[in-house]
Structure 1
Amino acid sequence: MLIKRRFAIAFIVAALLTGVFSVAHAADIAVIHSSEVPSRWTDAFVRGLADGLGDAASIEQGWLGPPDRGDDFFETRFEVLGKQFSDTEPAVVITDGSTAFSFIRKYRESLFPGVPVVYCSIPRPEPEYLGQCGECTGIPMPLSMRETVHLIFRLRPDTTTVVGIMDGSPESLKYRREVEAAMEPYLDRAEIVFPGHEYGDEGGLDAELIRTVANSVPRRGAVLFLGFDRDNAGKQVDPAAIVETLVARSAAPVFGLTDQWIGSGMLGGVMVRAQAQGKAAAKVVQRILAGEPASEMLPEAVHPVPVIDFTALARFGIQSTRLSGETVAVNVPQHPEEPSGAISTGTVLGLAGVAFLVLIAVAIRRRSGCPRGRKSGQ
């Protein structure tokens, strides 16, 4: 009995030591987001990252903000993040978005000296930028402008107008050129316009003008949201509020380039899902933790897929048969092909049949209720 007790104690002690050891050696991963606050994108990205890493690492997040606030703002963020990570020695730093990547290129050696960097949520950077972040690799995420334009016309071949919403930033101007190139096969039957950024209408947009634009979109049109962070007065705006306005006021469906807005009423687009981007980043982190040099890696981009909100699809009466087999369906109603609140023809006929049977049963009961041998009216 004493020997068994000693073995049991030894087993418990060994288990406890093993647990302590594994926790102590779990890698710390720092994720620096470009945004100032969490969003659908950041939540899904970190969820995918955590799913991919499992118990192999713990994740700590840092937040930045819009890049046009100036050097003083980012110096302040540098100080804040320095305090936040003062007791942490991350094994890998992940940047989420272009602002975070630029920030880490400037401050990595002060914040995380010698730590490998994995960029995410941006197109493939120029080689010189990769060299500025030391031991660096990443998951490129090109935006699928051309594929999203093709999706618009596959779902609604009779589209006559595509309305591009942009804020005039250098990034959005680049997107505009790509959209215009993608529209070329359709210019014999449709037009592309960018309100606030056309010849004779170059004043840009603000929240009130966007409401006006949304109200004027024709039913056979489509809205393509390219991003909107600053209005024509340079004032920062909430892009989520802009998408909400477009969805609520436009008589045509709204399309986008990232799944951050899926679930807000936007119909969809061809895009990389945030959770898939996070899982891809987790695979790269695991390779780094296994000893592979980050600078020698060439990870492939995550394949973009059509992501469609089926409730929005039903709202505009679009048949799901127009979608490709790789489409990711979200927000699927019980009857996606029927307008919200509609009753199917089969249901109406079924109810009518039941009512008819009830009437027959009532009539039979009334007839059988008359006493035998007694005429009606006696």
Structure 2
Amino acid sequence: MLLVNSYHPQYQWTTQQTQGIKDVLIDTVHAENLHIEYMDERRFVDDEVYHTKLIELLKHKYQVYEPDLIMTTDDHAYNFMIENGKDLFPGKPVVYSGVNVPNTKMMARHGNIIGIAEGMEIEGNLDMILQLQPRTMRIIMLSDTTGLGLNMGKKAREIKAQWQADPHKKHVTLEVWDQFSIPELYQRAETADFNSVFLMLAIHKDKLGTYFSYEHHLPLLTQKSKVPVYGMWGTIIIGYGGLGGLMNNPYEHGKNAAKIAIKVLDGVPLKNIKVPGKAHYSPYFDYHQLKRFGIDLSRLPAPSTVINRPVSLYDEHAKLINSTIALFIFMLVVISILTINIKRRITAQRKLHQFNQELESIVQQRTKDLDERNKELQAASKILRAHAYTDELTGLPNRRAASREIVAHIKRYNMDFQPLAVAILDIDLFKSINDTYGHQAGDEVLCAVGETLKETLRPNDRVYRWGGEEFLIVLPDTKKGYSAIVCQRLTKSISQLDISNIGTITASIGVSNFTKGDSFEAILQRADTALYTAKNSGRNQVAAS
């Protein structure tokens, strides 16, 4: 099988869509039989020489490795196969995905092309913007004049004409910006009216031919913009400063296209394969951006996904709180039962003195029961105390345990002045791991890093789960120069981890040694400052303060 991608592997949209395809095909197509090509059209969209050489390369390469089926992602690869597929791969079926505007006439001529249109959700996002921000008077849609941007800009102008004829919407001005340099776009965003918003359609290059990077330029644009930036492409908008919108998930889109490819490989005729009209668009938002622009969360369409929403104290410690409440209720029940029993015993003693011997036997038995219950309560209390000082995910001591134990280290230091170092370790790009591979994969990374730290450190060293992707490390009897060496050994061990399909895991560490008169807060601040130095210096390194 041959998979032809429109863009490059560093483009998050392409990475996610390709991963969805690979995950579905893993049991059907052996890894060595899945050939993947990247057209890199975000950089070479208008380069005819490049396209000519690309055709020659594919023709030469796949004379030897002739594919049984071709898959394409996004518009450029699709159009490339429409125009050149018969010459390059005569008679071979093509399954496409991520296509915004399929060419139905050309598809009918080929007869062996099928797939899922990604479509576009411009109108849905425009309506949703007015739902979230009803005072909006101006919506600026951003695109360019390359293939996809040109098509989306054309569609946006058609919608603009419809809105101007609609008495319920004509009070909102729709604009399409596709002629700007990136610095000009920044400048316009800084001076945008308070009742305006931006809707990102598709930008590959500015009018000067400068490549537009969503990972680099979009965060700068959203930082400079005084108004929200919406979009419909989740992977490249959310997490880079975009507020949100009705968004398509490239991973799911790729999976659905791969399922169609499997049916084709199984010999199902193309006319018998049912495909959806277009990809699914779901409401997806960034909590930080919603708060930044004061948007009421109650206005979000249901069901909406909101990332970066803060976790409440109850959600974070639900098990501990519920266990404590259950224990408290149990103790109340026990106390109530004991109170009732005592009252009954007193009443029985007064009225039935003649049965004193029998009653004494009953009391002794119940006293024994109480002793057993008290032992059970003490055991349960001991377990709860252990849970209170242990991180449930990694099994490491938690922040509460660190705060208690480090006091003892400081007291010892102030007595004998033996060397003592404290380090803070932060897993690099952890949010990207969660966003790309899911929180379960993030949990696996946390557990693996915690286990590696325990195995690498000395028996008398201590490591704690400090919070999120941070770990606190205490190094007793460690001089200033050696503490950095120990931390470098830790970063090396972490970089050698192999976790599922995530790839290389790296970490940055800030370390500092105690000096006379130091408080825990002071050395923690120095270690944290050193950590930021390590992060800002390129990550995967150690900085000492």
Per-residue CA shift, 1:171-222, capped at 9, x if unaligned? 1431322441357466454322335x6xxxxxx2111210111111223321
Give the gaps of 5 or more residues in structure 2: 313-545
Matched, 1:154 2:131: yes
Verify the 8 A CA contact 2:163 2:170 in the aligned structure 1: no
Please state whether the residue corresponding to 2:27 is helix, strand or coil. Answer: helix
How far apart, in 1, do the equivalents of 2:5 and 2:153 lie?
23
Q: How does 1:1-20 map to 2 (within 5 A)?
A: none
Verify the 8 A CA contact 2:94 2:114 in the aligned structure 1: yes
Matched, 1:262 2:242: no
Corresponding residue for 1:62? 37
Please state whether the residue corresponding to 2:22 is helix, strand or coil. Answer: helix
Per-residue CA shift, 1:66-112, capped at 9, x if unaligned? 37424322121123334554543333211111110111123323433
How far apart, in 2, do the equivalents of 1:292 and 1:171 lie?
33
How far apart, in 1, do the equivalents of 2:191 and 2:121 lie?
26
Verify the 8 A CA contact 2:139 2:196 in the aligned structure 1: yes
Verify the 8 A CA contact 2:141 2:201 in the aligned structure 1: yes
My pick for the range that moved more, 48-57 or 213-222, is 48-57
How far apart, in 1, do the equivalents of 2:203 and 2:136 lie?
24
Q: 1:322 to 1:35 in 2, by over 3 A?
A: same
Verify the 8 A CA contact 2:244 2:285 in the aligned structure 1: yes
Matched, 1:192 2:167: no
Q: Which has the higher contact order (CA 8 A, sep 6+)?
A: 1
Corresponding residue for 1:297? 273
Give the gaps of 5 or more residues in structure 1: 1-28, 198-203, 336-378
Q: 1:36 to 1:279 in 2, by over 3 A?
A: closer
Verify the 8 A CA contact 1:104 1:133 in the aligned structure 2: no
Per-residue CA shift, 1:267-298, capped at 9, x if unaligned? 11213210121111022012112211235534
Verify the 8 A CA contact 1:225 1:256 in the aligned structure 2: yes
Q: 1:185 to 1:251 in 2, by over 3 A?
A: farther
TM-score (norm 2): 0.51
Verify the 8 A CA contact 2:9 2:15 in the aligned structure 1: no
| Match 1:230 to one of 192, 197, 205 | 205
Letter in 2 for 1:211: Y
Please state whether the residue corresponding to 1:69 is helix, strand or coil. Answer: coil
How far apart, in 1, do the equivalents of 2:301 and 2:159 lie?
21
Corresponding residue for 2:154? 174
My pick for the range that moved more, 147-156 or 86-95, is 86-95
Corresponding residue for 1:369? none
> How far apart are 1:167 and its partner, in Å?
1.9
Q: How does 1:89-108 map to 2 (within 5 A)?
A: 89-108=66-85
How far apart, in 2, do the equivalents of 1:126 and 1:250 lie?
36
| Match 1:279 to one of 225, 230, 255 | 255
Give the aligned CA root-mean-square deviation in angstroms.
Answer: 2.5
Matched, 1:206 2:181: yes
Matched, 1:323 2:300: yes
Verify the 8 A CA contact 1:253 1:267 in the aligned structure 2: yes
Verify the 8 A CA contact 2:74 2:100 in the aligned structure 1: no
Q: Which has the larger radius of gyration?
A: 2
Letter in 2 for 1:177: R
More helix by share: 2
Corresponding residue for 1:125? 102
Letter in 2 for 1:281: A
How far apart, in 1, do the equivalents of 2:308 and 2:66 lie?
40
How far apart, in 2, do the equivalents of 1:38 and 1:192 lie?
33
> How far apart are 1:318 and its partner, in Å?
1.9
Verify the 8 A CA contact 1:48 1:277 in the aligned structure 2: yes
Verify the 8 A CA contact 2:8 2:14 in the aligned structure 1: no
> How far apart are 1:325 and its partner, in Å?
2.2
Q: 1:41 to 1:187 in 2, by over 3 A?
A: same
Letter in 2 for 1:49: I
Q: 1:210 to 1:88 in 2, by over 3 A?
A: same
> How far apart are 1:242 and its partner, in Å?
4.1
Q: 1:78 to 1:168 in 2, by over 3 A?
A: closer
TM-score (norm 1): 0.71
Q: 1:207 to 1:124 in 2, by over 3 A?
A: closer
How far apart, in 2, do the equivalents of 1:246 and 1:182 lie?
27
> How far apart are 1:51 and its partner, in Å?
2.7
> How far apart are 1:43 and its partner, in Å?
1.2
Q: How does 1:20-31 map to 2 (within 5 A)?
A: 29-31=1-3
Percentage identity across aligned positions? 24
> How far apart are 1:138 and its partner, in Å?
0.7
